[in-house]
Amino acid sequence: MAAGEVTPGSGRIVRPSREDQLVAWLAALAITVHLAEAALPMPLPGVKPGLANVVTIVSLLHLGWRAAAWVSLLRVLGGSLLLGTFLTPTFILSVSGAAASVGVLALAWPLARHGLSGLGYSVLAALGHMGGQFGVAFALFIPHPAMLHLLPILMTFALLTGIMSGIIATAVIQGVRAENR
Q: Residue 137's pLDDT is what? A: 94
Alpha-helical runs (H) found in 39-150:
52-63, 65-83, 89-108, 118-136
CA 112 to chain centre: 18
In the chain, where are the structural domains located? Answer: 18-179
Q: Residue 1's pLDDT is what? A: 44
Q: Residue 122's pLDDT is what? A: 93
For residues 88-95, average pLDDT: 93
Angle between helices 118-136 and 151-179 (to 10 degrees): 140
Q: Dihedral angle at the C-alpha atoms of 88, 30, 122, 111, nearest 10 degrees? A: -100
User: pTM, whole model, 2 decimals?
Assistant: 0.83
pLDDT tens, position by position, 28-85: 999 999 999 888 887 776 678 888 889 999 998 888 889 999 999 999 999 999 999 9
Query: Could you say which DSSP state residue 172 is in?
Result: H
**What sign for the dihedral angle of Cα 18, 54, 79, 148?**
negative
Q: Residue 117's pLDDT is what? A: 83
Domain formed by 18-179, architecture = Orthogonal Bundle (1.10)
